[in-house]
Amino acid sequence: MSRLNPGDAKEILQMLEDGINLMPRLGKTEKMKMRSKIRKQFIWLLDLKNPTADMVFHQLETKLSDVFSLYPYGFSNKLKKLLEEKSARFHSM
């Protein structure tokens, strides 16, 4: 069974964390809570069997719905592009 490697999972989560800096009008405490919630997604990302870009995006969007609602316009598209790159490289092996 194919799974994401830890480096890919970290890169995906790092992009989500970096997106928090693009959110206007958030306090330091709110940003810290969001980062913590994002980091907690690491284990299930590694446990996904045969992940696809759409599947990962949908699950992240569901698990982090409060965070996704605050990302600026276009951020989701950038995340989808990263997931597709990871998925294409992953499935070509």
Q: What percent of the chain has pLDDT over 70?
A: 95
Categorize the per-residue pLDDT at 1 as very low, low, confident or very high, splitting at 50, 70 and 90: low
Residue 41 has a CB neighbour count (10 Å cut-off) of 17
Q: How many domains does the chain have?
A: 1
**10-58: pLDDT as tens digits:** 999 999 999 999 888 889 999 999 999 999 999 999 998 888 999 999 9
- Domain of residue 28, residue span: 6-91
Q: Is residue 15 part of a domain?
A: yes
pLDDT of the residue at 90: 63
Question: In the predicted model, is pLDDT for residue 61 greater than 70?
Answer: yes
Query: pTM for the whole thing?
Result: 0.89
Q: Is residue 1 part of a domain?
A: no
* Closest-CA residue to 19 (of 3, 44, 37): 37
Question: In the predicted model, is pLDDT for residue 59 greater than 80?
Answer: yes
> Cα-atom radius of gyration of the chain, to the nearest Å?
13
Q: Is residue 32 part of a domain?
A: yes
